[in-house]
Amino acid sequence: MRRAMTLTALIAAAGLMTACGSSGNDAKKEHAGKGTATSSSKPAPEGRGKTYEVTFEVGGEGKSSVYYNLDTNRSEQVTLPWKKSDNLTLNSTERKVGITVSVVPGPVKLSNGQLAAAPCSITVDGKKGAEEPGGADGKHMCEYTLR
């Protein structure tokens, strides 16, 4: 009985793995015409990596914490205004799926003495990809999907 259950589970798993595979044409058709945040850079030839220059900026004055995700998650105590640039290379699979980069600014003191999120922006290959004004209302982070 145990042998039959194991065999059945293996066959089911193999069937699921086969069914999950795709030639990529279905995914391309499914996403055709749908608006998503993408880089304006020309795509690299299939199978090659594409390198993006990503710049994070956080405005304001004083000291604050900044959390950002480029190739890994990081946190820094910084003096504002703050700017960080780095290159990120995506392989063909990562470009198909998309990789999200983000920055979350810590609080800054407003002119009225209240604490609020600092303004932030993300620039990709010299073009503004995301921007948030900061303040007490809003999203309190900037994120952008590279493709």
Structure confidence by residue, pLDDT tens digits, 66-123: 999 998 999 999 999 999 999 999 999 999 999 999 999 999 888 888 899 999 999 9
pLDDT, residue 71, reads 86
Give just the sign of the alpha carbon dihedral 137, 81, 75, 96: positive
Residue 22 has pLDDT above 80, yes or no: no
Whole-number pLDDT of residue 9: 44
Instruction: Check residue 110 and give its pLDDT.
Output: 82
Nearest to 118 by CA among 49, 63, 54: 63
DSSP state of 30: H
Q: What is the pLDDT of residue 113?
A: 86
Is the model's pLDDT at 44 over the cut of 70?
no
Tokens of 122: 């993300």
Task: Indicate the helix (H) or strand (E) that contains 20.
Answer: helix 2-20
Count CB neighbours of 130 within 10 A. 20
Rounded Cα distance between 114 and 1, Å, is 68
* Sequence-distant (≥ 6) Cβ neighbours of residue 87 within 8 angstroms: 51, 52, 53, 54
The pLDDT-based confidence of 124 (bands split at 50, 70, 90) is very high
Whether 64 contacts 97, CB under 8 Å: no
Q: Using one digit for the tens of pLDDT, what is the confidence trace for 85-99? A: 999 999 999 999 999
Task: Look at residue 127 and give its three-state secondary structure.
Answer: strand
Q: Taking residues 24-38, what's their average pLDDT?
A: 37
Confirm if 76 and 106 have CB atoms less than 8 A apart: no
Contact criterion met (CB below 8 Å) for 79 and 61: no
